[in-house]
Amino acid sequence: MSDIPRRTASRTAKLAGIPLGVAGRAAAGLGRRLTGGDREEISAQLAAKSAEQLFAVLGELKGGAMKFGQALSVFEAAVPDEYAAPYREALTKLQSAAPPMPMTDVDHMLTQQFGRAWRSRFSEFDETPAASASIGQVHRAVWKRDGREVAVKVQYPGAEEALRSDLRQLGRMSRILQPLVPGMEIKPLVNELRDRMEEELDYRDEAAYQREFAAFFEGDPEVKVPRVVGSAPKAVITEWVQARRLSSVIREGTREERDHAGERLARFHYSAPDRTHLLHADPHPGNFGILDDGRLLVLDFGAVARMPDGMPPELVAMTKYALEGRSADLMTLMRSAGFVRDGARVDQEQILGYLAPFTEPLETDEFHFSRRWIQSQAERVGDLRSPEAAIGRSLNLPPRFLLVHRVTMGTLGILCQLDARVRLREIIERWQPEMFEGPAAS
């Protein structure tokens, strides 16, 4: 059976080949420049080849390696323009178009989950996958009982072993992988993925979360969540809903379409914790689409966090203090909540600038999320000579805030990919009015 490569040594060798390949191509490019080659043309060729290798390796390995690539895809807007084009294409493909597993493996897995007569449940089953992702792929089918079109998500054989192996290795390799994504911190991302990914391996948990979201958003004029038809530990069947992929809107949408998609996505992210007490925690464009009637389609509920108190009040108060320029109150709250490392000395005025990605979009009625804006934010924090970089080394992200922080940053990343103009202040003011009204509790 030709499933995911499982052996740790084999997977580690493939992952290690990414930075080694980049290093080799860089050396070759230097030699070509020394012999008179055009610098920009050579750099573009090397970037394209490195991006092609990135997609090929992460896509083939799937598991934690591909999940890592999907997480990177959300932040590709922060990659400087001179590197962006080839990586943008490669990382976007990882959202829903990884190399698929063969039908023999699909048959094996569905037999395990639903029995040898699993095909009798469907009047039609398309053996060509509609989407292939990190730990599973999706097939379109027709549910025999009532004739509904359904999506059958099947986990790859060996996904569990591969996931654990990859995340261990990626954690060890974070330093040498860093040059692949300028302007991003790799190690915290890998650590966070390692903590959360195991929750996605049992599709029964995913089905339970999706049922909750679907019940809450039933009949909602802005959001559509497909209903669950059936589930098992390694497979889940849901309604098939046709929509335009968000990646298509990013790539070729009109100004109106991109603004509309950005507004719908922002409303979903910032309202769900307070409306449903749940957080959809896998924000990448492959998990969203736009229906013909304008609603946002939300898919993949493998990573969901319960938020019984809605958006954490500490984060709301921190944003309020930053917006109002109350640096002393902000620093007191950040220290008490564990955001400042023990013994660290932080300039309380400079911390306001460090939090600009969270506050600037709220300082105007409408904010233009652009690649240039997010690149400038990444450059400030990534420049080791800047005050913001020094502040970053003094700060800490407490575990209880880590997931909502990643989802918020991921949402901002997608808004910048969309180049969307969004009335974000109005959206947040509806669901966290205390951020803009009256005194904030410290």
For residues 149 and 86, membership in a common domain is answered with no
Residue 128's contacts (CB-CB under 8 Å, 6 or more residues apart) are 100, 139
For residues 132 and 171, membership in a common domain is answered with no
Residue 305 covered by a domain: no
Distances 411 to 45, 77, 358, 362 between C-alpha atoms, Å: 31, 12, 11, 15
For residues 110 and 186, membership in a common domain is answered with no
Residue 278 covered by a domain: no
Number of domains in the chain: 3
Residue 15 covered by a domain: yes
What pLDDT, on the 0 to 100 scale, is given for residue 165? 67
| Residues paired with 124 in a beta bridge | 142
| Residues paired with 226 in a beta bridge | none
Domain extent, residue 125, equals 103-159+199-239
Q: Which helix (H) or strand (E) holds 262?
A: helix 255-276
Residue after which a domain boundary falls, among 197, 217, 250:
197
Give per-residue pLDDT as tens, 54-80. 545 554 444 444 455 555 554 555 555
For residues 60 and 186, membership in a common domain is answered with yes
Residue 380 covered by a domain: yes
Q: Which two three-digit tokens encode residue 134?
A: 């990190």
What are the residue ranges of helices labelled H in 94-216? 103-114, 159-172, 174-177, 186-197, 203-216
For residues 331 and 410, membership in a common domain is answered with yes
Residue 187 covered by a domain: yes
For residues 146 and 67, membership in a common domain is answered with no
CATH at 125: 3.30.200.20
For residues 139 and 174, membership in a common domain is answered with no
Rounded to whole angstroms, how far apart are CA atoms 176 and 173?
6
Helices (H) and strands (E) in the chain, counts: 19, 14
What pLDDT, on the 0 to 100 scale, is given for residue 423? 98
Report residues of the chain scoring pLDDT below 70. Answer: 1-99, 134, 162-199, 380-389, 438-442
Rounded to whole angstroms, how far apart are CA atoms 57 and 68?
12
What pLDDT, on the 0 to 100 scale, is given for residue 355? 87
For residues 47 and 178, membership in a common domain is answered with yes
Residue 162: strand, helix, or coil: helix
For residues 107 and 218, membership in a common domain is answered with yes
Residue 256: strand, helix, or coil: helix
Residue 160's contacts (CB-CB under 8 Å, 6 or more residues apart) are 201
Residue 266 covered by a domain: no
For residues 22 and 164, membership in a common domain is answered with yes
Residue 415 covered by a domain: yes
Give per-residue pLDDT as tens, 312-322. 999 999 999 99
Residue 78 covered by a domain: yes
For residues 204 and 151, membership in a common domain is answered with yes
